[in-house]
Structure 1
Amino acid sequence: MACPGCGSIEEIRKHHLCVECRRPVAIQQLLADDAGEIRADLHPLADYLLTHHSNAVSLERWLHKSKCALVLRELADGTLPLAAEAIIARAQSGQSVAFLLSLLVRSGVLPELDVEGTRFNHWLNGWLNDIDHPEDRLILRRYCAWELLRSARVSSLTSGFQRQRAFLKYCAALLEEIRSQQETLATFPQRRLDAYLTDSPSQRDALAPFTRWLRRHRLSNLRVEFRVNRLEGRGYAADHRWQMARKFLSDADMDPKTRAAGLLVLLYGIQLTRIVTITRAQVDTSSRPVTLTVGAEPIELPEILGDAIVELVDAAKRHPEGWLFPGRNPGRHLTPGPLSRRLRTEGLLAGSARTTALIELTRQLHPRIVSDLLGITTASAASWSRLAGGEWSDYPTLRSTHA
């Protein structure tokens, strides 16, 4: 039987409209109040769902089964205020909150806001309220605002502030340990801190900057040393790196997102946090080879990687933001976690592969060239070069001599 709305014979249920014709009906049912009217401030959302959600089947499933739909019903009937804080408190599930806020911002219902930052601030306020001692709450809030967030804002935008949450919990645990021994930050002995530390690298990574901040503000003389050379033991053997590269170059059935991300890590040592933020504006497909710009100078890509990037550029034209790796949340790019899991499924550990790639690159190229191509600081490139055993101190002189 044909759809009575459009005549289509696809996705038809007996005596019912097709899924495309059901779309406006489902949206009306979701967003209308008891009088059957959609409130004026939700009209942009209704228009967005009608025109920007390309898959009608997944939209219908989402409208009927997701937790977000329940929250939207409460927004529609006025029982829930149309405000980010109220939505975060009501939705509870982190993924649902991120998706719903992104949807409301992208459709124009809510003003522009930092979705992940807003979620983190909501979590922080609730978490700090559970800290027993007021002085500890004050120290943790000051450290978070003045140091932790300021020094790691860019990476937080792609990671959902997960690292910052974990670091704060380690800091709170240390403060609780000090109080349990009837001591203060000023009186707690260094030997007891040394005994308290475990072999956890994450604990040391969290407490080293925290104790440095405490010393800087004259709150304590305690010290946790930063780990020396965090990269030791994390790299692949060079031959394994090239073995993985051959797999990503030759596997004809590999998804272009997986292929592109894997090769960008294996060949150039680009972090996943940066890969997920690449847009089509950074790619030049007007000639061959295809070039990608992530630093000051464009990188000429090998043909197979270039072809995968071109596929992603073509797909990105459907999204106004132009992300090559679009995420599930409207207007947002993919986060590193899902991409890392994709690569791990193919046998690639992104962190280890990146370490080996940067060591090999800085062994072959001057740190300044690596910095220009990959968009990392010259100091960072120089550190990688030292780790690789390189010595380029005479490079500027040689370069100027042959110029």
Structure 2
Amino acid sequence: MSAVESWGAATVPATRTSFVEYRRDAEMETVGIGVAGALFLYVFYSAIRNQWPESYVTMTDAVDNFLSTSLARYLAFRVIPVYVTVVFVTVTAGRIDASASRAAAITVGTHILLTNLRAIVELLRRREHSSAWVNLIAFNLLTCVLLIATAFLAFRTSSTWKDLIPSQEDTVVALWTGALAAILAVFLRNLVVTQHSEDALFERARKDLGPDLWTYAAQRAAVHSSDADLIRAILLAEVIQRPAWTRSLERTKGKVLRRGTYGVAQIGSSTPITDEESIDLLCQEFASYRLPRHPEYGHLLDERFRARIEKHNPNVSFVNQVVLFYERLAGYHLEGTEAKADDGRPVIEVKELRRRGQSWEINGTAVVFEGNVVYSATARGREILRESVLADLGAPNRGEWSVSLPLAAEAVVFEEEPMDEDAWQDGDSRTVKVDLS
């Protein structure tokens, strides 16, 4: 055997061994880069800690409040970090001769496994399925598809951004800097987490519900002899959890998977229903229900009230929000009659008093015949005005009323217009006086 042949025979196995080692190293680098990308996404979303849509939004959930407001915000939150991470992984893998496509697949696959697929598994393992169960599964499946499409787009467009991706040496420095910045950001977020005020949350829900459905809820509550404020409080809590854009997705989903929760009241149904139909069903559920109140003092018995709401929806955050909104709508009044209506509240309530320019604006509620509330204003001991106002609902339902008085008025008395001589057997118990001096 010649020297050349001997050398060739000796180098072929070595070359093959080097190639195998090269491939093995490339595979390890591919997996390492893919896992690193998934780990970054895990740390990022763990730091944010959003729980919507699986859990109800509360005033302290600053992130959830922000995301649930619009579809664009939610999509940006779920798509942009994944897109940027997959671009980074793809470009980095290509520079070191690792498999860019496999690294990207590992990143997005692991991320989906730890987030939406994990949520789906937890939903499937629940022994009790709520009426929103199908909607939540469909929502998570749709998000999985969206993330896969995002990763594919990032892979295909990664070359566009390659000049912006730092080299390996710069990446190490950037990662350490980013890690320290992330730790500081998480600390500051937990220290000064933004809390949405009750007013902001209430106004957001009112705007989402809209004036037409707000009025419709009171009208249908009157038909079914249910408490209008309670119905509205439930609707407000539901529209915060399922704003208009998510309800639109639910209706679209209903064309394929028909069973789910629908409408502003989020009522479970085997087929899609309208907002109005969901309100009707909610009013029927609470038909003739009278809130538990103290027989002597008239205040709401909180635990009994919560127990009834839990029958409708046992979620703790939901119950808390319903109680919060109900107290805002019905729980407080500036002045009220001694006489109580069937719902345990004063027959006539004065809820709000404010000055608007050169006049007083007074708002309240009443349970009076045909909604007719009589009021008389006085100034310097003399009556300067005596008129009546119609509440939007008449007895036995509680209606809302509003009056405007001249700024010169020093006091005003509200009373139910007597129907006959026996109507005043309670003396002045069905009148309420408001001091404006």
For the superposition of Structure 1 and Structure 2, which TM-score range results when normalised by the shorter chain? under 0.3
| Structure (1/2) with the larger strand percentage | 2
| Larger-Rg structure | 2
TM-score (norm 2): 0.24
TM-score (norm 1): 0.26
